[in-house]
Amino acid sequence: MSNETPHITIFDTTMRDGEQSPGASMTLNEKLELADLLETMKVDVIEAGFPAASQGDFEAVKQIAQRAEHAVICGLARSTPGDIDRCAEAVKHAARPRIHTFISTSPVHMKHKLKMGENAVLEAVGRSVTQARNHVEDVEWSPEDATRTEWEFLCRCVDAAITAGATTINIPDTVGYSHPEEYGALIRRLIETIPDSDKVVWSTHCHNDLGLAVANSLAGVANGARQVECTINGLGERAGNAALEEVVMGLRVREDTLPFSTSVDPQYLSQASTMVSRVTGFPVQFNKAIVGKNAFAHESGIHQDGMLKNAETYEIMRPEDVGVSKTSLVMGKHSGRHAFRDKLETIGYTLEDDELNDAFKRFKALADVKKHVFDDDIAALVDAQLSEAGQRVALEDLRVAAGMRGPQTADITLIVDGDTKTATSEGNGPVDAVFKAIRSAIPHKGKLDLFQVHTVTGGTDAQAKVTVRLDGDGFLATGVGAHPDTLVAAAKAYIQALNKLETRRAKQLAA
Ligand code: KIV
Ligand code: ZN
């Protein structure tokens, strides 16, 4: 971080706004894992959830607050007394707690959603911020749908929030409606108009409905905002939020025109993107800026020629800057344990000895069937291993009969709480047969909500990476499996999702 340029606070809301994406739910352990990584990469503020929304959200915010060492841990609350008390209860364990409270201020939201008039909303602003300030020193206030709010009323609300003690004022473009000049001008005009504007930090929160979330956030910064709310991979409601990796690199690469700095270590951006994609089951688009598979791939002859002569011809940043290692061809069956451990460290995994032994065995098994083992193969293998650890149900064996002349059948052997269970099923295709066999071995109510197949790398011997999402009475559980055999990967993904459903069911029964 440069000492000369003003600091921009990076506020990550992947676990709150990001998790509001349909299907993007994360388990408690996944949230803890992500929070640890966000701390390691030096994100300033982690919005860990919406404690009043569910017991699960409350627990996640509380546990993240308990273990965070440096980051401010923030919880979201509507302006009701119950929400604010619940949020305070969850964040109180943090070394640096923050309550973020909000209420809608646009005419359309007040009339149809809140059914409240201006005076009632204004009263709620002052009351909620005061209540939050009675719990913590650090209070953020947001006028939801700010960019469609009438100017005079917006100023009165912001003024009331500052008078009541808000320390950060966040201006959400909730529906992703703004254009950059407009959003930047709004931030500037607020800072110039509101009496005590220099007493608070101004923040951006931009949605991506018109694909402008990052551009709007940077326009906000250029006009006086000093906090940017964003999410890994741009996850979030509808088209998502401003992508954290794009904001961080947009500021870093163009420090000449945007002279600001962040504390985020960009070397972790690629790892964070992979982790969020794995736990949510949302694939990263190949041409996604900064973290997409093709973000640093040069295909055309002219570009390749230029790159060989000097990388600066077509690269404005280096893949290593964002944690993508340059050499993707890594190892084969003759690679040793030391080289394997070094490789794991370069791609961002530090394993305990027993985990390393297990990962090495899996690597050897993969290298036996796959000549070239790439970084992505190793990451997929370790991710699968870590998510399988401690699961009640594990895949022991699978045999499938497939082909044009049916019926397709699957024989499956599972280990359930240490006992062996077998089942055979026919299906409408091999995947259907595999999933039916699992269901027959472990009857459950989860319905298949998503089945998605990708390859981890190229080539016909590539590992398949399968994502399965199960819907158990509205609770969505995502599992990811990787294996050179697509059907084994599918079975592993299904079993991982099922384990999450079973864990939740057990918790509910216990409660
Ligand atoms: O988009 C939005 O308006 C929000 C607020 C709750 C900050 O997410
Ligand atoms: Zn939002």
Give the residue, out of 104, 174, 178, 183, with the most ligand 1 atoms within 8 A of its beta carbon, to mutate for a pocket test: 174
Domain limits, the chain: 9-280, 294-324, 326-387, 390-510
> Three-state secondary structure along 446-479?
CEEEEEEEEECCCCCCCCEEEEEEEEECCEEEEE
Whether the per-residue pLDDT at 334 is higher than 50: the answer is: yes
Q: How far is the CA of 78 from the centre of ligand 1 (A)?
A: 10
Mean pLDDT of 275-282: 90
The pLDDT of residue 2: 46
Instruction: Specify the pLDDT at position 149.
Output: 98
> Does ligand 1 lie within 6 Å of residue 172's CB atom?
yes
- Ligand 1 center–CA 148 separation, angstroms: 13
Is 380 strand, coil or helix? helix
Determine whether the shortest distance from the Cβ of 144 to ligand 1 is under 6 A.
Answer: yes
More reliable by pLDDT, 342 or 16: 16
Of the ranges 35-44, 128-137, 177-186, 359-368, which one carries the lowest mean pLDDT score?
A: 359-368
Secondary structure of the chain: what % helix, strand, coil (to 5)? 45, 20, 35
**Among 155-169, 173-187, 232-246, 348-362, the least confident range:** 348-362
Distance 305 CA to ligand 2 centre (A): 43
Cβ burial 275-310 (10 Å sphere, 16+ → b, else e): bbbbbbbbebeeebebbebebbebeeeeeeebeeee
pLDDT tens column, 221-245: 999 999 999 999 999 989 999 999 9
Quickly name the fold that domain 390-510 has: Double Stranded RNA Binding Domain (3.30.160)
Question: Does 252 contact ligand 1 (Cβ within 6 A)?
Answer: no
pLDDT > 70 in the chain, percent: 97
Q: Which ligand is nearest to the CA of 106?
A: 1
- What are the Cα distances from residue 62, in Å, to 30, 55, 56, 102, 248? 14, 10, 10, 20, 27
pLDDT band at 456 (very low <50, low <70, confident <90, very high): confident
13-31: pLDDT as tens digits: 999 999 988 788 898 999 9
Ligand 1 center to 13 CA (angstroms) = 10
Closest residue (by CA) to atom 5 of ligand 1? Answer: 144
pLDDT value of position 156: 98
| 174 CB within 6 A, ligand 1 | yes
Residues 64, 74 contacting (CB under 8 angstroms) = no
Q: Tell me what pLDDT residue 298 has.
A: 65
Q: How far apart are CA 197 and CA 182, in angstroms?
A: 19
Ligand nearest to the CA of 171: 1
Check whether 163 has a pLDDT greater than 70: yes
379's tokens: 């990451």
Residue 92 Cα to ligand 2 middle (Å): 23
Residue 329: predicted pLDDT: 46
Res. 301: pLDDT tops 70: no
Q: Supply the pLDDT for residue 194.
A: 98
pLDDT score, position 386: 81
Atom 8 of ligand 1, residue of closest alpha carbon: 17
| 337 pLDDT above the threshold of 70 | yes
Q: Are 437 and 412 in contact (CB under 8 A)?
A: yes
pLDDT tens figures, 93-112: 999 999 999 999 999 999 99
Q: Across all residues in the chain, what is the average pLDDT?
A: 92
Strands of 419-427's sheet in order across:
393-401, 408-416, 419-427
* Mean pLDDT (whole number) for 67-81: 98
pLDDT at 171 over 50: yes
How remote is the CA of residue 37 from the centroid of ligand 1, in Å? 24
Q: What pLDDT was estimated at residue 3?
A: 57
Q: What is the pLDDT of residues 244-265, one digit of tens each?
A: 999 999 999 999 999 999 999 9
Average of pLDDT values for 449-473?
88
- Answer whether CATH 3.30.70.100 is correct for domain 9-280: no
How far is residue 377's CA from residue 465's CA, in Å, rounded to a whole number? 10
